[in-house]
Amino acid sequence: MNKQLLVLLIGRIITNFADSFYMVATVWYVKTVTNSPFLIGLTSAVVILPVTLQFIYGPIIDRYSKRKILYFAMIGQAIIVSVISMLYFTHLLWLPLLLLMMFLSFLFSEITFPTESSLIEVLCPREKLTKVNSIFEFCYQSLDTICNGISGILVLFIGVGFIYVSSSCLLFFVGLIFLVYLKVPKTKKESEVTTIGFLKQYKVDFIQGFQVVKEQNILLSIVFGVIGLNVMATMGIAMLPVISNTSAQYGFWLTAMSIGTLLGALLANKVEKVPLNLVMPISSLFAGVFWIFSTLLVNKIIFATILFGIAWIGIGIISIYVQTLIQVNLPEEYLGLGFAFISSILGSLSPIGYFIGGLIGGLTSGKVILFISGLGYLGFAVYFLLNPKLNGLKNQLNKRFEHSNE
């Protein structure tokens, strides 16, 4: 891995650490103040909502300096989290205001993901994409595991306010790292001299990028299946704090998710030569079965979280595969916009999943919603096997879809 990829990776690790800290603190704060499954689900929905707006960032990512985009995104997020901490310590942290601030913070956060993903493709040879994606997932999931495991305990012992302060400091630090140390070559679009205004150029780039993405029929077929999967999954994730008796127990569930995703990222690199029409449905089926078993044993927290973590191995593989498929199949000059568009599509209904999870969870129980979520992965496996565009994909991960019959 070259130096610039290493700088990008370090920044992402620290950012995920900070995001995990203040996200867990916020969810637990809402539970402590309201003890309402509906409001807990609403909080998660508000945080995930900016994902659906990633498409507006696409033309900006492809046209302008990615280093500066990452810098301003980190600083903007850090400032907002700092404001949240000050409101908390002055006892002015009104719940609607907290939700608004979290929404704005994650608006800044969401531009970083398509920007970093497009940079990985630029800085990394195509034959090593799966390996590098797996390394990125492995490294920041490793720290996510540590962070999620201790965040509930930290909330208990040092308090929500200090979690917010530490998160803002970490985000400021990452912004400086990107500004000083991240050096990347300009893309073709960044080097182009445009004679029209920003809004007109934005419109032209937006339309061109949309057409490029629209032509990716096979990729979009996978994405639409994952959309339904995300809705079902987020319904269950929204219920994790509801079924947890303590903040530490909530941390155990999050730790299981992180460890499972971590192992899945490692395994993805080992199975990249297996045909797509085997890896994707088998991974989803695997995840669904273990998710459902974890729900049936939810009262036995140790066994339940272990099984839940095993389920996330399959989810981790799917996540790496979807990211790599986007990098492989989109033209380099439209990677930023393509990632932004597809990320928006992928996350388009996730806020609804959190909202529905909280709503139905309040009427039934968190355990019921968690069980229903596991069924979503079984549904995705069936969808992949029955879809004529997908069940014939015999190509390996690092080959374009037009080479699927090779």
pLDDT in tens, 235-255: 888 788 777 777 677 778 878
Q: How far apart are CA 186 and CA 193, in angstroms?
A: 13
Give the model's pLDDT for residue 131: 75
Residues 6+ apart with CB under 8 A from 214: 220
Q: How far apart are the first and last CA of the chain?
A: 30
Mean predicted lDDT score pLDDT of the chain? 80
pLDDT in tens, 268-306: 878 778 888 888 899 999 999 999 999 888 778 888 889
Nearest residue to 16 via CA among 145, 186, 189, 202: 145
Q: Which of 17-31, 268-282, 326-340 has the lowest mean pLDDT?
A: 326-340
pLDDT in tens, 122-179: 777 767 777 777 777 666 655 665 666 666 666 666 677 888 888 899 999 999 999 8
Q: Is the pLDDT of residue 193 over 70?
A: no
Give the model's pLDDT for residue 22: 84
Give the model's pLDDT for residue 12: 84
Give the model's pLDDT for residue 406: 44
Map residue 194 onto helix, strand or coil: coil
Could you give the domains of the chain? Answer: 3-403 (1.20.1250.20)
Q: Is the pLDDT of residue 371 over 80?
A: yes
Q: How far apart are CA 123 and CA 33, in angstroms?
A: 46
